[in-house]
Structure 1
Amino acid sequence: MNYWLMKSEPSVYSIADLARDKHTIWDGVRNYQARNFLRSMAVGDQAFFYHSNTKPPAIVGLMQISEANLDDPTQFDPKSKYYDAKSTPDHPRWQTVKVKFVQEFPTPISLDVLRQSFTPEQLWVVRPGNRLSVMPVAEAVARQILNLLS
């Protein structure tokens, strides 16, 4: 099993939305490096749900990859802001995963706490200027993040 950190703005899709929906497709990722991380995910992998563009930004919960290697349907929809005219069903450019709710943390783990606990090499989200919406988390770091909840 691998671990990931996946960002979403709570005004777009929040941990509360995922708790309500139970599962969702993680659509709209339009960065090639983040897309490549999505391509390497497997069913059963765990992902930290991170609220970005909020005060304070924080890890707010945990989800699990329930389906992998899916074509992102928004790339084919001309009405979607994630539409990609160069992408076709025969040659899709954007893949994604489906995630399911595991838990919302009783206390969010803020970016400040993460910066105090991890170096930029250990946890990419603490890197200055990091804009990736999907990133890997080493197993040892994932366990340390979970220990911050105790």
Structure 2
Amino acid sequence: MSRITTALIAIIIALLVGMWYATSQMQSLSTQLKEITQVSNQQKADLENIQRQRVQAAELDIKVTQELANAKSEIETLRVGLNTGTKRLRIAASCPKLPETTAATGKPDATSPRYDAEFERNYLSLVERIKQSETMINGLQSYIRTQCQ
């Protein structure tokens, strides 16, 4: 019977060692599962954040593009108005005084001060560039405020 007892004790010891090994493996796997779950949750949160930023950037892009289109439309309306004569540019200008020796004819010396066509083109070009620059700068500032946190 001592052989049977020895064999049973050996089997019990082997089972205990096997159970200890299986338990340690399960604990290791459980730890790894927790780590993987944490990484997965973090990646999911990061992806949601990226998606939110993309949506915000797209909305901002649409807004700035619309503002640029509105600015170009305003400039074009001004350009058409100046060409048709329905709008006029007002500038602070003065005509040089004529010498006192000129004989008076009873008529005004000239019409009101007027600018030439090149001035008008330059003015419209500058106004257009200023509007575009302001819109772009405002858009970039909005992007920095919303996306670069």
Q: Same fold (TM over 0.5)?
A: no
TM-score by length of 1: 0.19
TM-score by length of 2: 0.20
Point out the structure with the larger helix share.
2
Of structures 1 and 2, the one scoring higher in RCO (CA 8 A, sep 6+) is 2
Point out the structure with the larger strand share.
1
